[in-house]
Structure formats: C-alpha cells, structure tokens
Amino acid sequence: MRIITGIYKGRRFDVPRTFKARPTTDFAKENIFNVINGYLDLDGADALDLFSGTGSISLELLSRGCRRVVGVEADRDHCAFIRQCLQKLGTDAVSLIRGDVFKFVSRCREQFDIVFADPPYTLEGLSTLPSLILKQGLLKEDGILVFEHGGRNDFSHEAGFVEHRAYGSVNFSIFRATAQTVAQSTPTDE
C-alpha cells in the first residue's frame, strides 16, 4: 500500500496477507483523487472515511492536506494496522473509530467536506448507503460523497448523483450535497 502524493508521498506500508480488506489499487486511487480535485480543494477539508479497511484512503486524504480525517472501521486488526501506520507517520490527525458504519452514520452529528465510503462489495444494505449518508446530513453544502462499489450497482437514479467512474473492476459513484439537501437533512437539537 502506497501513499500517492502530498506530504507523505511515496510512503509504503505492508498490508498483512491475512487481511480481508482490499486496498483500493494505486491506479484507481490516483485517478479518483484527480477527479475529486475537480470538485473540492482538500487543503484544510474535513473528511470521513467509512469502511477504512487498511487506512489507504484515510492516509491519502491526510497526505493531501485534509485538516482532519475521521475513519470508521469495524475490524479490530484493521484498526490496529491503521494505528501503526499513523504512528509510523508520526501523526494523530486521523480519529479512528472502531465500530459499525451504519450505526455511526445514524448517530453522527458532524458534517464533512468529503465522505469516502468503500464498503465490501457484497455488504448487505450496500445499495442503501449513499441515500442514508446524504439523508443523515453528513455532508456540508457542496461537499461530496465518493462511493466505491462493484460494477453491478447503478446509483445514477439517486438524489445528488453527479457522475460514475470506472477503473478496471473498481467503480466510483460521486454525489454532491446541495444547499437544499443540506437544509433538508441537517440534524437539529430538540
């Protein structure tokens, strides 16, 4: 696993062979981050990495200038690996939460400039995630959701959908929060 660019450019981490998580390929990661740059300046952005897996996306977001990254990962060993990577980089700018993504999304009251979600392609409930993330108000106005998925899924009918990109067998659907969707979904304290 390699960090493509930014302040930690070129840093490599050996992912244990026993891991079920597959890091997004360098080719797909580099290309999707080029697309992201057309939508959003990551410098100083707040980011959420759902299904952090190996931490590849969290580390890339951090390296590219995100002010803060929150990572959510259920697997204990994966969390330990991500913490080791952060320790090697000498940073604590990633807040790692070990837990269920669906529960986190339903309870989270923060908003982010970018949400990156890379669930297992066979995850039960995968098709509901983009809608759930947008409805919960996790994105700031003009914030984007980058959703990685297999080729069998089509999210073009979902509210907020702006484009689909495919790099080999890796597919990304991109969604944007508008002022209207943010106003409709922003949690209130009652």
Confidence of residue 189 (pLDDT cuts 50, 70, 90): very low
The CA-atom distances, in angstroms, between 91 and each of 55, 78, 84 are 13, 18, 10
- Three-state DSSP class for residue 50: strand
Residue 156 has pLDDT above 70, yes or no: yes
Burial 99-125 (b: 16+ CB within 10 A, else e): eebbebbeebeebbbbbbbbbebeeee
Residue in 65, 48, 49 with CA at minimum distance from that of residue 9 = 65
- Three-state DSSP class for residue 97: strand
CA atoms within 13 A on the CB side of 135: 9
CA–CA gap between residue 35 and residue 112 (Å, rounded): 18
| pLDDT tens figures, 63-114 | 999 999 999 999 999 999 999 999 999 998 999 999 999 999 999 999 999 9
CA–CA gap between residue 128 and residue 119 (Å, rounded): 12
Looking at residue 190, its pLDDT comes to: 40
- Total-model pTM: 0.92
Confidence of residue 182 (pLDDT cuts 50, 70, 90): low
